[in-house]
Amino acid sequence: MIQVGADNSYGHPTPETLDRLGRTGAEVFRNDEDGDVIVTIKDGEVEVSVTKP
């Protein structure tokens, strides 16, 4: 999960960071694009949901 404001002045996350995460196969959730990110862990299973479609 990446906590970032839309159009933030720091430019985070950088394209390089997103590329590196993508190459590892990581699924990236961003609150500026996905809204609230809700992670539920139950019986060893992880479920992620977001508030923006």
| Nearest one of 29, 27, 22, 23 to 2, comparing CA atoms | 29
Per-residue pLDDT 10s for the chain (53 aa) are 998 877 788 888 999 999 999 999 999 999 989 999 999 999 999 999 999 97
**What is the per-residue pLDDT for 21?**
96
Task: Give residue limits of the domains in the chain.
Answer: 1-53
| Nearest one of 24, 27, 23 to 49, comparing CA atoms | 27
Q: What is the pTM of this model?
A: 0.76
CB 35 within 8 A of CB 52: yes
